[in-house]
Structure 1
């Protein structure tokens, strides 16, 4: 049996707007510009991608799955992402080395400390 990770699906009230926001944050490309099913990837022929699907109700609880990103410069990346509209989140992480942020629809993601493995 062979499995290959194709994409992570993100439910969104406005898939196109949220997908374009993530496209800017990650510097990825749009591979499907459908307003109900919007997909981005690092490059058109490279998976995995992020697929944003339309739902009718807003997010109600903390995500059970989230993305972690390792930047070259954590402080610089956090400031850049905040300037694009992210918000700082407190999910009980305390004095952790990572920063928890929320995308425009309230999905948590982490910006880890710089470097590391």
Structure 2
């Protein structure tokens, strides 16, 4: 007897806008297209291998560092190319550790941290 991971939920002031950023960054598909629109309380994205992220509307903004975050590895490109692409999509650099630890700590438009690692 065990548990199976259904999905991961990220709080968002604006689930649609936050999900749009991640959709572009990860190139994932929309799970429920009729719910994926401006003003939606929840927006789902699904990876090509079936992993799902839910962006769920909450009334309060992020205030402290995430206790968990995504670590992303480039596929078919370099870490630096993906850092630049994330910045162009609206991410910010939270802590550039490429020179010593090998990764960049980024933040999505709502301030949720994620790392882009060297491939």
Q: If the length of structure 1 is used for normalisation, what is the TM-score?
A: 0.87
**After superposition, where does 1:1-117 map in structure 2 within 5 Å?**
1-33=1-33, 34=35, 35-43=40-48, 46-72=49-75, 73-90=78-95, 95-114=100-119
Shift of 1:91: 8.9
Shift of 1:37: 1.1
CA RMSD of aligned residues (A): 2.0
Unaligned runs of 5+ in 1: none
Equivalent pairs counted in the alignment come to 112
The whole-number CA distance in structure 2 between the counterparts of 1:57 and 1:78 is 28
Q: 1:31 to 1:69 in 2, by over 3 A?
A: same
Unaligned runs of 5+ in 2: none
Q: 1:2 to 1:13 in 2, by over 3 A?
A: same
The whole-number CA distance in structure 2 between the counterparts of 1:96 and 1:108 is 16
The whole-number CA distance in structure 2 between the counterparts of 1:109 and 1:49 is 17
The whole-number CA distance in structure 2 between the counterparts of 1:42 and 1:13 is 23
Higher mean C-alpha displacement, 79-88 vs 91-100: 91-100
Q: If the length of structure 2 is used for normalisation, what is the TM-score?
A: 0.85
The whole-number CA distance in structure 2 between the counterparts of 1:77 and 1:94 is 16
Flag as ranges the 4+ runs of structure 1 deviating above 4 A: 91-94
